[in-house]
Amino acid sequence: MIISGEELKDFLGAKHASPHDRLGMHPVSGNGKITGVVVRAYLRDVHTCAVVDLTTGKKYDMSKLDESGFFEKFFRGRGEIFPYEFSIKSFGGAVATVRDPYSFLPTLSQFDCHLIGKGKHRQISKKLGANFCEMNGVAGVSFAVWAPHAKRVSVVGDFNGWDGRYHPMRMLGPSGIWELFIPGVRNLSKYKYELTNANGALLLKSDPCGGYFEAPPHNASIIFDTSGHRWRDGQWMEMRAKTNWHRSRMAIYEVHLDSWMRVPEENDRPLTYLELAKKLTAYVKKMGFTHVEFMPVTEYPFIGSWGYQVTGFFAPTHRYGTPTDFMELVDTLHESGIGVIIDWVPAHFPRDTFALSEFDGTRLYEHEDRRLGCHEEWGTLVFNYGRHEVRNFLIGSVINWFEKFHVDGIRVDAVASMLYLDFSRKDGDWIPNRYGGKENIEALEFLREMNDVIHEMFPGAITIAEESTSFSGVTRSTEHCGLGFDFKWNMGWMHDTLNYFSKDPIHRKHHQNQLTFAMLYQYSENFISAISHDEVVYGKRSMLHKMPGATIAEKARHLMSLYSYMWMWPGKKTLFMGCEFGQSDEWQHRKSLDWHLLQYQDHSSIQKLLLDLNEIHGRYDFLAKFDVDWRGFEWISCDDGDNSVIAFLRKDDVGNAIAVVCNFTPIERVNYRIGVPKDGFWKEIFNGDCERYGGMNRGNFGGKHAENIPFHWRPYSLNLYLPPASVLCLTPAASG
């Protein structure tokens, strides 16, 4: 026996941190010269094992030093290592040949480790995690994980009986990365990492860079080969790369996959990715939305978190199918000309012990100081954005979604919580930055780098910030000291607008400023007018029941006037699922939308109105082109609070225009005059009182001729009939 008894004891006790120094083939020296070559293997459920010399084909029986499967063979007098494999015989008598994991060089280069340590590796998902590859013509899986403070790390899985003694990993120099190539591991094998921390305690962790996961409570990572999917979206991707989304139409349909539609005949289960590919795509295309935005599809353990407490930053959730099923969903949407945006959550992560929390026994991904590393309000942990490897992990995650899954955009959740060190913290419970301020400088640097990387690597990709404060420059370029996002949700507009529309119309005249104030900052950022899931849950009531009125019909009228105003207001649009047909109940994450409501006119009318508003935006493309350009908007009248009427122009720089006139009371306005910039016939292209929307077809008989009567500081004017609780849109006949 060449290995010492003490070394063997340490190895069998899973206390050895450098398995490649003992396992595999090594020269043996004595008296200053090589005396032979030794081969060692630790193999599970093996009765006998022999070394096969691949240069000669000869077999050499190995000595079994321990019944758990430790074998050794010493080739006395042999001076050089040689290619080999093992011929093994199981206790049942089956014979097989296997390659030795400890005979291969590392799958990560020193340069890979250097880039990860600097936070600059752009292909981290292909280096860390579990990746199919070939080494010296041998197929297998490369495992790699960052755990710098672990004393030992092993791959455990259903291929080795979840026994940490069988596949211990090696650390690659000072990088903190542990690596092992295991030949012959099959697709769909489950695995985790078994770590020994500084105190000798065992930790069992899912793979931070895992691409597929088992359902709770086990949460194992699953090896999954996505190479079989053949993308069909080349035309879409080519178009996307050439598109300036600031000047293109964006009407985004926000979707929670678990509750959009269910199958009541099958225990009310949610639709799969493949079922959604057919049904959701057809619906979104019919409704005229340009994009879907999925609430987080990154893997998460607790359904009640809606996906916002992520444990698998590189993996589509297992709940609706496999990663290739998710690819099929994206592909199908792209084939129909529909973009895919995902909610992505770098602001925090949960404390689940199987995931990132104290990953190697230390606060590795989170800050050491709880005043920086905890969101007490949410019970979650905050990433340490100042650590290079953590930034690389997060940016690698987002690259993975764009590159591997072909998503078109991300909406970054809870950006405000990242920007401010005192976010939701009491005085004395936070630490100022190095300049004494409350801005999180490291998070700002991370967000700028993230946006720069995305825009450099993926032309036409979209980044959206959910940022609820007045932080300056969220959508300004990083070159000009901004954060570099393409768009920002207009939270101020949303709060003011919903507050206004929730009031009884008789009181709205006292709150006209809630509609007009938004224009003071409308062009300070590139805004998306968003009504999201957050507005229809937790006692906030559905959009329909936010509206005043004694009957559903009255509420529907006000909701349609809100949507009409929203769609004609500048900025891109986002609307949460169910809102487009006036879902009556608040959203419930474990229950399907109430699709049966569409049999009733009030609900189907709302849906038709949204469809037509999307069609108008498609027909008059200057609306989108000037969504974030101040030249595309002009007030006609903003001060008629007594009548609760506002009027404005949406226009371009070559004379096209649409006059939008909003009457937000259930009282008709007869002979209501507005000033317009052109004479001639103004065609009525939209009327919220149309019979199609449950109205009474009251309007202006298709349009009005402008009169040579100056009004509202303009040379011409229109004398209009304003239907109650409705919006009118008129355009010069030449524009229509």
How many Å apart are CA 587 and CA 513, to the nearest integer?
Answer: 30
What are the pLDDT digits (tens) for 57-82? 999 999 999 999 999 999 998 888 99
Distance between CA atoms of residues 495 and 529, nearest Å: 11
Give me the mean pLDDT over the 329-358 stretch: 97
Q: Report the distance separating Cα 273 and Cα 324, nearest Å.
A: 9
DSSP structural state of residue 443: H
C-alpha 297: how far from its chain's center? 6
- Tens digits of per-residue pLDDT, 206-255? 999 999 999 999 999 999 999 999 999 999 999 999 999 999 999 999 99
Q: What is the pLDDT of residues 94-152, one digit of tens each?
A: 999 999 999 999 999 999 999 999 999 999 999 999 999 999 999 999 999 999 999 99
Phi (first) and psi of residue 433, to 5 degrees: -75, 180
CA 317 to chain CA centroid, nearest Å: 11
Where residue 367 falls among pLDDT bands split at 50, 70, 90?
very high
CA distance 430 to 232: 50
User: Which stretches within 434-516 are classed as H helix?
Assistant: 441-457, 491-501, 513-516
Distance CA 288, CA 609 (A): 11
Residue by residue, what is the 3-state secondary structure of 184-218? CCCCCCEEEEEEECCCCCEEEECCCCCCCECCCCC
* Domains located in the chain, CATH noted: 5-103 (2.60.40.10), 110-222 (2.60.40.10), 246-622 (3.20.20.80), 629-732 (2.60.40.1180)
Convert the pLDDT of each residue in 138-150 to its tens digit.
999 999 999 999 9
Mean pLDDT (whole number) for 290-317: 97
Token pair of 103, please? 């005979």
Q: Per-residue pLDDT tens for 515-530?
A: 999 999 999 999 999 9
Asked if the bond preceding 217 is cis, omega within 30° of 0, the reply is yes
Q: Examine the pLDDT at 735 and tell me if it is beyond 60.
A: no
- Phi, psi at 684, each rounded to 5°: -80, 105
Tokens 């100042």, residue? 386
Helix (H, G, I), strand (E, B) or coil at 527: strand
Whether 687 has a pLDDT exceeding 80, the answer reads yes
- Give per-residue pLDDT as tens, 371-404: 898 988 899 999 999 999 999 999 999 999 999 9
Asked if pLDDT for residue 590 goes beyond 90, the answer is yes
Strands across the sheet with 46-53, in order? 59-61, 46-53, 84-90, 95-98
Rounded to an integer, what distance in angstroms lies between the CA atom of residue 199 and that of residue 413?
Answer: 36
pLDDT at 279: 98
Task: Select from 297, 305, 351 the least CA-distant residue to 325.
Answer: 297
H/E element, 266: none
Active site residues: 413, 466
Task: Give the separation between CA 238 and CA 412, rounded to whole angstroms.
Answer: 25
Counted residue by residue, the chain has a size of 736
pLDDT of residue 652: 95
Beta bridge partners of 88: 49, 96
Residue whose C-alpha is closest to residue 292's, from 31, 573, 605: 573
- pTM summary value: 0.95
Report pLDDT for 428.
86
Q: Residue 14: its pLDDT value, please?
A: 82
